Amino acid sequence: MQLEKIISISGKPGLFKLVSQLRNGFIVEDITTKKKVSISNSSQVSLLDNIAMFTFDKEVPLFEVFENIAKKYDFKQTINHKSKSDELKTFMEESLPNYDTERVYESDIKKLAQWYNLLQKAGYITPESFVKVEEVVEEAPVAEEKPAKKTTKKAAEKTEDAEEKPAKKPAAKKTTKKED
C-alpha cells in the first residue's frame, strides 16, 4: 500500500495525496474527489505512513492495522465512524486485538474507521495493495551486469607510476641564528 504520499491535514476533512512541492507549500489532491488544492508550509500535516497505533507490547504501523481490517472485512467497507461507542470498541478489538485501551481513544478509532473507508472507496484498499515491497523486489528479473570500463594504456601507466613513487616529505624549515 502506498501510504507514504497519503496525508491528513488538520482542519480539513478527508485524506489527501501529495502531488508536488511549491516554494511556500504543497499541492495536494483529495483522494475521493480528485480536486487539487494548495496548502501552505504552516499547515499541520500527518503522513499516514508515520502513524502507528498503541498496543500493550509495541506500536503497530497503521499499514498493518489497515491490512487486518481489510482481511476481516474482505477488502470492503467497514463500520461507519459515527457508530456507537460499543460498536467502535468491538471493531477495534477485532482489528487489533491487544490495543492499549488507555492510550487509544474513541476519537482515534473513529479516525481509523473513517480513513479506512475513504481509502477503500478511493481504490487504495485491494488485495494487491498489501503486497510487501520485498516480495515485489524478489520477483523482479535480475538485470545483467555491464562489463567494467576499459582503461586506456596511459591511464594504466599513470596509476602504476603513482603506486611506485613514494609520497613526498614536507620540506624542512630553515632556521636562522640570531647574532647578538
Could you report the per-residue pLDDT of 11-56, keeping only the tens digit for each?
Answer: 898 999 999 988 899 999 999 999 999 999 998 999 998 999 999 9
- According to CATH, where is 2.30.30.730 located in the chain? 1-49
Segment 124-153 mean pLDDT: 57
Q: Is the domain defined by 51-129 classed in CATH 1.10.10.1650? A: yes
Task: pLDDT band for 99, please (50, 70, 90 cuts).
Answer: very high
The domain made up of 1-49 has a fold known as SH3 type barrels. (2.30.30)
C-alpha span between 174 and 34 (Å, rounded): 77
- According to CATH, where is 1.10.10.1650 located in the chain? 51-129
**Per-residue pLDDT, 127:** 79
Task: pLDDT band for 1, please (50, 70, 90 cuts).
Answer: low
Q: What is the pTM of this model?
A: 0.69
Q: In the chain, which ranges are continuous DSSP H helix?
A: 62-72, 85-95, 106-121, 133-139, 153-164
Cβ pair 26, 20 in contact under 8 A: yes
Rg for the chain, CA atoms, rounded: 29
